[in-house]
Amino acid sequence: MHNILDVENLFIAFRGLVALNGITFSVQAGEIFGLVGTNGSGKSTFFNCVNKLYKPQRGRIIYKEKIDLLKLPAHKMAELGIARTFQNLELFPHTKVIENIMVGLHPRLKIRRFLSNLSPKTFIRSWNWDKDEAFKILDFLGISRFHARLVAGLPYGIQKLIELGRALAAKPELLLLDEPSAGMNEQETRELARLIKLIREEFECTIILVEHDMNLVQSVCDTLCVLDSGNIVKIGKPEEVTRDPKVIKIFLGEDEGAQAGRG
Amino acid sequence: MRTFTIKLGKRKICFSDRMIKEEEERRWWILPLIVLVYLLPRFVGDYTIYLLSLLAVNIIGAVSLDILCGFCGQLSLGHAAFLAIGAYTYGIFHMTFHQGCIISLLLAGLSGALLSLLIGIPSLRLKGLYLAIATMGFTFIVDEAVLFFSTWTHGVEGFRVSRVFDLDFVQLKSGTTDFYYFIYTLVILIVIFSRFLLHSKLGRAFTSIRDSDVAAEVSGVNLLFYKVLAFSISSFFASVGGALMGVVIGTISPEDFDILLSINYLVMLVIGGMGSVYGAVIGAIFITFLPEWITNLRDAFLPSGTDVSVLQLLIYGLIILIFIVFEPNGVYGRWLVIKAYFKKFPFNEKKIGRVAWILRWR
Amino acid sequence: MLIIDGVINGVALGSVYALVALGFVLIYKATKVINFAQGEIMMVCCYICYSFLVYFHLSFIPSFMLAIFFGFLLGSILERFFIRPLIGYPILPIVLATIGISMVLQAVAGLIWGFEPQKMDPFPATPYDLGKIVISPVHLWTITITVALIILFFFFFRYTLLGINLRAIAEDILGAMASGIPVRKMFNFTWGMASAISAIAGVLVAPIVFLHPHMGAVGLRALPAAVLGSFGSIPGAIVGGLVLGLSETLAGLYFPKEIKDIFPWLVLFLVLIVKPEGIFYRYEQKKV
């Protein structure tokens, strides 16, 4: 299996405003794929389409070369191994951190597993299974000391990690990160880059990043895709893409684009 | 790390907030409370035992509503309808068809659960208050249906239900201590079940729907399935409670199950606090004894002609408003805040006015 | 000519439902809240009109106008003191608060005016004879006033600044705030307007159902009309109300009384099962 995600002619419009204009691309298994573009270019909309929070009018999204995601309901995504974080953090504010993470475990807690643990010893042990798994995620992210705190009082950076933890709890094969570096300074962004690469190794998953921070994207991504007003401008390796004059024009404007092209 | 220093004479002693231990929730009070519940009948008179049996029914009703509204965040105005369904199903199966008490009780619960599927599935498909509207309509329909089928339900004249709950080895007559033990055993089991539910995978799915249905869906929670499941569990217990209400009181008629009863249970949750089961119990205690207090109030202050039910309506409405604006987490919520305050003392933060006010809702 | 009578009755009842549903929809569109106290506001304003008629011996038109004005005031006051403190709260407590308001209003009305049903029928009793059709003044006035209001609202929402502001808030609150629209004042105005509309509906329906503190339940019967009209749309509320009123009256001709009593709720379930989004549904996306 080569491509974990094939997007074909995805088109979605909101009452006349075209968000995605029939885009087509593929994401290879195991790579870190970056989706960049200016505001309103359709990046988060794309994620919402994958997650079935929005319904595109046309197009297909094929997962693992055989499953058409658009035919499935939204809650099946987690079962299939697709997890996502949100730009505006959808956390449960007045619940403990560990319980936020445990929600992410939902697709993994099947009744079959529970019933198969019917011998008394494993039954009692499995009672704490979800807590143990959640702690593993918290340890991995380095935030176990907050496990019993309510999410509401915690700093923004920690909350972002909790959101990430909830996505990771589902042991995803495809992880969608929506602007993970929003609100972070340079040092935190570098930590984040390191963390993203670590996640790819530890969890053996593919990561798609929607991002604004070009430094992060260049240091971390294997493939970069630039969107503008719902169309793909360029897709390829980060070094090539960032030197493309069209891309520079989008981000920096006409004159500077010309200058950068020359320089 | 913050420090707090006190001076004892010439010495200074430093405390730091690192010294506050993270305690696991200590549940030492559960066993003594259960013992107290079982010992109580020895010290009180018959009328109080009757009131306490009524309280037990109210606790079952409040806890079952908490599962739907508190855990899952879905507003339902139809609790009275399920109590009615439970009461009449029990009455019909036990009195008219002469089935055993336990069987009738179970059938009452199951009929409530089944009917909840009927109205839950269409209305919970959408996000928003459709369940509230649908359950309100359902209450009106059930009330009318009870009148329409009065050959079975005896309509307005009232359906007399045997106050003896007959387990084959022992007869339990409502109002006696034995019956009290029986019904409170049920209550305790239901409360324990609900607490386990809250901390289980199901409970987490429910609360995630309440707090952020987007995050829940993305984490794999099938919204319709879990909302309907919460509704049917809630309705099952509500119907069981309704059946027991019939046994405790002895007569049931449609006026007992109007929409005011649904609001009654909602007020219990508002007072006690939603989502914690303990809040439902506290609210039930409060509301069960409230009519007595209102009557006493009325006798003391107002001309004796004043209808108690009007005062009840007024006071319930005011309670809802006052609690929602000032104490939205209910009594139990306030208790948790007080506990947390003492745990952190003297390192409590002073919250800036408006922030505290917005963070108040759970 | 039973059918014709039924149709006229139905359209009149439907007009009342349409007005109340309009009140629900206006408040819902602006503030995302279902105001369960709408029926009780209607009831209180009706009692106010009654009081002016009976105790102050004013004639009908001034009493009616005063009742409408009082309705506007009542809506504003309720919003300012009970709903505004709850801005930012999730929906459940706000809706519970409106339920609390409805209970308090019922109790206060009962304490002030008593629980005996009162008759308030300011319209002449003799029916107008329009050739083949005989129509009673109540129904004629109800339909006329409702049509007049609908036309008024059409122009209001389309051509006045206030109406456009209200539509802006209903679409996108942040955008409206950014455009300098005073959102809180608009919320207040919406509640006032919706309550004034309820006042009109109440006076129009009082001759049929009699005036008593539990009259608010009639208002609740308009909720299925709002659901039928997809809750977010003003023409939807009106059409929903008319459909509901018409079908309820016609059903009353052919089915037993019990069915007619709960007819709106049966319609509600039918809508929820068949087309829960209502007939005026426009596909809305939640922005995540």
Which of the residues B71, B198, B214, B219 would you substitute to probe the A interface, choosing the one with the greatest number of A C-beta atoms within 10 Å?
A: B219
Q: Compute the mean pLDDT over every residue in chain B, rounded to the nearest whole number.
A: 83
Local confidence band at B306 (pLDDT 50, 70, 90 cut-offs) = low
What is the rounded average pLDDT of the residues B281-287?
Answer: 93
Residues of chain B with pLDDT > 90, as a percent, come to 37
- A67 has which bridge partners? A63
pLDDT higher than 80, residue B301: no
pLDDT higher than 80, residue B353: no
d(CA A244, CA C249): 71
Contact C41, C198 (CB under 8 A): yes
Residue B218 belongs to what domain range? 3-359
Q: Does B355 touch chain C (CB under 8 A)?
A: no
Question: What is the CATH number that goes with domain A1-81+173-263?
Answer: 3.40.50.300
Which of the residues B72, B127, B223, B310 would you substitute to probe the C interface, choosing the one with the greatest number of C C-beta atoms within 10 Å?
A: B310
pLDDT higher than 80, residue A146: yes
What is the rounded average pLDDT of the residues A7-13?
Answer: 86
What is the rounded average pLDDT of the residues B208-216?
Answer: 89
Contacts of C30 (CB under 8 A, 6+ apart): C166, C169, C170, C186, C187, C190
SS3 state at A18: strand
Residue that wins the pLDDT comparison between A215 and C133: A215
d(CA A116, CA A123): 9
- A170: nearest CB among B207, B219, B362: B219
pLDDT higher than 50, residue A117: no
- For chain C, give the secondary structure using H, E and C: CHHHHHHHHHHHHHHHHHHHHHHHHHHHHHHCCCCCCHHHHHHHHHHHHHHHHHCCCCCHHHHHHHHHHHHHHHHHHHHHHHHHHHCCCCHHHHHHHHHHHHHHHHHHHHHHHCCCCECCCCCCCCCEEECCEEECHHHHHHHHHHHHHHHHHHHHHHHCHHHHHHHHHHHCHHHHHHCCCCHHHHHHHHHHHHHHHHHHHHHHHHHHHCECHHHHHHHHCCHHHHHHCCCCCHHHHHHHHHHHHHHHHHHHHHCCHHHHHCHHHHHHHHHHHHCCCCCCCCCCCCCC
Tally of structural domains, chain B? 1
Instruction: Pick the residue from chain A with its C-alpha nearest to C285.
Output: A54
Contacts of C170 (CB under 8 A, 6+ apart): C29, C30, C232
Q: What is the CATH number of the domain that holds B130?
A: 1.10.3470
d(CA C45, CA C107): 15
What is the per-residue pLDDT across A182-197, written as a single tens digit (0 to 9) for each?
A: 878 888 888 889 999 9
pLDDT at C15: 92
ipTM of the complex: 0.88
Contact C104, C81 (CB under 8 A): no
pLDDT at A226: 87
Residue that wins the pLDDT comparison between B156 and A82: A82
What is the per-residue pLDDT across C60-94, written as a single tens digit (0 to 9) for each?
A: 888 889 999 999 999 999 999 988 888 878 888 88
Q: Which domains are delineated in chain C?
A: 2-274 (1.10.3470)
- Residue-by-residue DSSP string for B201-249: HHHHHHHHHHH-HHHHHHTT--HHHHHHHHHHHHHHHHHHHHHHHHHHH
What is the per-residue pLDDT across B124-166, written as a single tens digit (0 to 9) for each?
A: 988 878 899 999 999 999 988 888 888 877 877 778 777 777 7
SS3 state at A170: coil
d(CA B59, CA B188): 10
d(CA A152, CA A138): 17
Interface of B with C in 217-276 (CB under 8 A): 263, 266, 270
d(CA B262, CA B256): 11
Q: Does B136 touch chain C (CB under 8 A)?
A: yes
Q: Does C174 touch chain A (CB under 8 A)?
A: no
Local confidence band at B2 (pLDDT 50, 70, 90 cut-offs) = low
Interface of A with B in 109-128 (CB under 8 A): 109
pLDDT at B359: 56
Local confidence band at A253 (pLDDT 50, 70, 90 cut-offs) = low
Residue that wins the pLDDT comparison between B8 and A137: A137
pLDDT at B299: 78
Range of weakest confidence among A41-45, A200-204, C256-260: A41-45
Task: Judge residue C28's burial from the number of C-beta atoms within 10 Å of its C-beta, 0-12 exposed, 13-18 middle, 19 or more buried.
Answer: buried
| Pair of tokens at residue B345 | 């003392």
pLDDT at B360: 52
User: Which residue's entry shows tokens 């969107």?
Assistant: A227
Residues of chain A with pLDDT > 70, as a percent, come to 88
d(CA C39, CA C24): 10
- C13 has which bridge partners? none
pTM: 0.88
Q: Compute the mean pLDDT over every residue in chain A, rounded to the nearest whole number.
A: 82
C-alpha distance across the termini of chain B, in Å? 27
Residues of chain A with pLDDT > 90, as a percent, come to 11
Residue that wins the pLDDT comparison between C132 and B37: B37
pLDDT at B336: 83
pLDDT higher than 90, residue B268: yes
Contact A14/C288, CB-based, under 8 Å?
A: no
Contact B223, B209 (CB under 8 A): yes
Domain limits, CATH 3.40.50.300, in chain A: 1-81+173-263
Residue that wins the pLDDT comparison between B355 and B94: B94
Conformational region of residue A206, where left means phi above 0, alpha means psi within -120 to 50, and beta covers everything else? beta
